[in-house]
Amino acid sequence: MPTESSNVPSPNEIQPPNAPAAGNQPGTTPGIRRQAAEIIDAVLSQTAPENAPVRDQLREHHAANPGRPEVALAEHIASLRVLAAGQSGPGDALPPTAGASRIESVLAHRTLLTAFQPIFDLATDAVVGVEALTRFVSNGSDSADHWFAEASSAQLGSDLEFAALESALIAAQRLPGHLYVALKLSPATCLDPLLPGLLRESVLHPGRTVLQLTETLTDEEPAALASALAPLRALGVRLAIDHVGSYFASIRHVRLLEPEIIKLDRDLIAGIDTDPLRHSFGEAMTIIARQFGASVTAEGIETSDQLAAVTGLGITAGQGYFLGRPSALPRDWESWNSPAPDVGLLTDPDAARRAWL
């Protein structure tokens, strides 16, 4: 959760603290002063108790600079930046942000769990895999995406991803042994040298492990990922690229990484039965996937018409509320116990560990 001061402009956008105190200060326009005053009023009108120290500090800067809200705001921002840099100064000590405190509490107490959403073979109607989804045990209604964004802002994104991964790998022990498990990971976590060790310690066979990239990549990351993941893929771990069709560079990432699974974004599937452009893109991605020897999974199938459209394109796998909702209940997972033809069982924990060696 961003702090109350997160929407203020940077010090370069407003008058610096050493500006003259005269009514018409050089370089300070009435618009800047008015904007600074409005931002201060907005921050001080907030009532969240966890951010009371931030409000108190802003009040001190405001009181020390009467008639100069732009200077008060600049000093306040500068003090927050000093804190963020790990420095300290007189009166600058602030507690961790509410966001950092929430994430640290989750990490300390592991107040998260894993739900799995079934992935179906559209030709046989059998469940062939699952996607691991993180759920947070809290009184709020924040989505998982919000929690991970909050963790990233608090410089705890990698810690939370590894905690979610550990939860998923533990929960996967209760799944039917023929199902593959798609683990949603950022490129940074896939590049982390801790990842192979964590996977090796699990009982999930490499042949059942799918690393699902969930974020866009920088220009440098595809080559680095290809190199880092090569040893894991040689053991049988598969790579999936998520949200294909939601951003332009996703097609280039498919070409550079040659994943085993291409997952078409739910926004694309939402109109694939009515929008000729979406339908054409889905058809094109199916052709591209065949060229790479990859399979295509349609995400977010919500209606029978969407299901008919994707199967008509030759897409072989799908997930979505129309097919099956996510569940955190092992009794639901056990119902996904009818393997499709030619899917081998990989349930022996010792064999799974040996496969990683």
Residues 330 and 198 occupy one common structural domain: yes
Burial of 3: CB neighbours in 10 Å, binned 0-12, 13-18, 19+ = buried
Q: What's the CATH code of the domain at 108? A: 3.20.20.450
CA distance 312 to 159: 42
DSSP-assigned states of every residue in 103-122? HHHHHHHT-EEEEEEEEEET
Relative orientation angle of helices 144-153 and 98-109, to the nearest 10 degrees: 110
Relative orientation angle of helices 221-234 and 250-257, to the nearest 10 degrees: 40
Q: How many CB atoms neighbour CB 323 within 10 A? A: 18
Domain boundary among 77, 95, 113: 95
The DSSP code for 327 is B
Residues 287 and 313 occupy one common structural domain: yes
Residues 268 and 227 occupy one common structural domain: yes
Domain boundary among 95, 114, 141: 95
Domain boundary among 95, 115, 132: 95
CA distance 169 to 205: 11
CA distance 38 to 14: 13
Residues 334 and 217 occupy one common structural domain: yes
51 inside domain: yes
Contact 148, 157 (CB under 8 A): yes
pLDDT tens figures, 192-220: 999 999 999 998 999 999 999 987 777 78
Task: Determine the structural domain holding residue 34 and report its residue range.
Answer: 11-95
Residues 111 and 206 occupy one common structural domain: yes
| 315 phi and psi angles, rounded to 5 deg | -70, 130
Residues 130 and 277 occupy one common structural domain: yes
Residue type, position 121, single letter: D
Residues 29 and 134 occupy one common structural domain: no
pLDDT tens figures, 210-260: 999 987 777 788 889 999 999 999 999 999 998 886 656 667 778 889 999
pLDDT tens figures, 84-100: 344 444 444 334 456 67
**pTM of the full predicted structure?**
0.69
| Pairing outcome for strands 127-136 and 112-121 | antiparallel
